[in-house]
């Protein structure tokens, strides 16, 4: 009887210690964040009064983007469409979190495309081949790609979320689903989801985290340290359809300012990623599903030339 009692207590103690360790790690991760505030001047929320029409609007519409009572439809479920929405005010915050409530849906069960992008870039309101926006952009692009352009050669599952950091000359390779220049990503079932879908983009102390939330289930998509973004870039969202199509809707984009203990940082001219550990380790702290991602040949060449 005593042995059973001891074993039971040991199990309970082990579970308690495991819970304490988990909570400690979680608290330590965000211990520098003191408070967060919703910044309405950078946010897109209902009601969308005068959106893209009045001079007092904080956002502009582009292409096929259409405002309804409860969402902004970037593209309808028709081929060959491009639409976008862009903030008129440059983002001047150092530490922030963006929560994007979106919906991708269509009539087809399997034949659909192309996807949407969330932007923080120097350029704005410029149409192009990257999910309805320009290529060779300067800044951050987070892509929700719903169509595999590489077909059966691709070893990933779609839809797929990926991140790219552009410097104004780097091109997104549409035919290869952006793989040569992506920093990392994850697969997720966001299309025709029964409940809400969210994309959480958090940037604090030169660390970028992307979390996808589908039907209330959160998934850590990627975590990159040593990523530097200049101030003064513009928030935006764009989408495109090709021969295949989907409805791409933005319901809200809520930007929170994070109050963080940090040292003053000098002004940046272009975005870049740390490569202080050597010319081949520019993305040594990029993790997806707990595994580090080795840079591709193109990224290695860029690091050698210090394009970033």
Q: How do residues 270-302 score in pLDDT, each as one tens digit? A: 787 875 433 223 333 333 333 334 343 344 344
Q: What is the pLDDT of residue 215?
A: 86
Q: What is the mean pLDDT of residues 51-71?
A: 91
**Percent of the chain whose pLDDT exceeds 90:** 62
**Mean model confidence pLDDT for the chain:** 81
Using DSSP, state whether 69 is helix, strand or coil.
Answer: coil
pTM: 0.79
Q: Where are the beta strands (DSSP E) in 57-159?
A: 59-63, 66-67, 72-75, 82-87, 96-105, 115-121, 138-145
In the beta sheet, which residues pair with residue 159?
none
Q: What is the mean pLDDT of residues 212-241?
A: 95
Rg over CA atoms, the chain: 21
Q: What is the spatial distance between Cα 212 and Cα 85, in angstroms, rounded to a whole number?
A: 21
Closest C-alpha to 140, from 236, 213, 211? 236
Q: How do residues 121-151 score in pLDDT, each as one tens digit? A: 999 999 999 999 999 999 999 999 999 887 7
Beta-carbon contacts of residue 75 (< 8 Å; ≥ 6 apart): 64, 81, 82, 83, 132, 239, 240, 241, 245, 246, 247, 248
Question: What b-and-e string marks burial along 48-64, b requiring 16 or more CB atoms within 10 Å of the CB?
Answer: beebbeeeeeebbbbbb
Helix H segments across the chain? 2-29, 297-305
């Amino acid at each position: 009887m005593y042995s059973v009692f001891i074993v039971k207590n040991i199990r309970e103690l082990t579970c308690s210690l495991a819970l304490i360790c988990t909570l400690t790690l979680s608290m330590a991760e965000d211990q520098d964040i003191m408070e967060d505030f919703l910044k309405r001047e950078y946010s897109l929320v209902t009601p969308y009064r005068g959106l893209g029409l009045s001079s007092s609007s904080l956002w502009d519409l582009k292409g096929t983007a259409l405002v309804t009572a409860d969402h902004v439809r970037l593209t309808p479920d028709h081929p060959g469409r491009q639409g976008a929405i862009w903030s008129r005010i440059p983002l001047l915050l150092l530490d922030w979190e963006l929560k994007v409530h979106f919906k991708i849906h269509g009539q087809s069960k399997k034949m659909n495309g192309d996807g949407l992008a969330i932007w923080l870039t120097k350029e704005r309101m410029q149409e192009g081949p990257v999910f309805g926006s320009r290529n060779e952009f300067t800044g951050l692009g987070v892509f929700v790609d719903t169509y595999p352009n590489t077909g059966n050669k691709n070893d990933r599952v779609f839809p797929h979320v990926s991140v790219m950091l552009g410097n104004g000359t780097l091109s997104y390779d549409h035919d290869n689903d952006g793989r040569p220049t992506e920093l990392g990503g994850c697969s997720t079932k966001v299309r025709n989801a029964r409940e809400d879908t969210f994309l959480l983009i958090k940037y604090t102390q030169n660390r970028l985290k992307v979390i996808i939330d589908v039907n209330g289930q959160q998934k850590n998509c990627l975590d990159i340290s040593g990523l530097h973004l200049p101030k003064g870039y513009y928030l935006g969202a764009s989408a495109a359809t090709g021969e295949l199509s989907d409805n791409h809707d933005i319901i809200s984009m809520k930007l929170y300012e994070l109050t963080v203990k940090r040292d003053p940082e000098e002004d940046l001219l272009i975005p870049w990623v740390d490569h202080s550990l050597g010319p081949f380790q520019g993305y040594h702290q990029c993790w997806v599903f707990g595994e580090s991602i080795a840079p591709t040949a193109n990224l290695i060449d860029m690091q050698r030339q210090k394009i970033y």
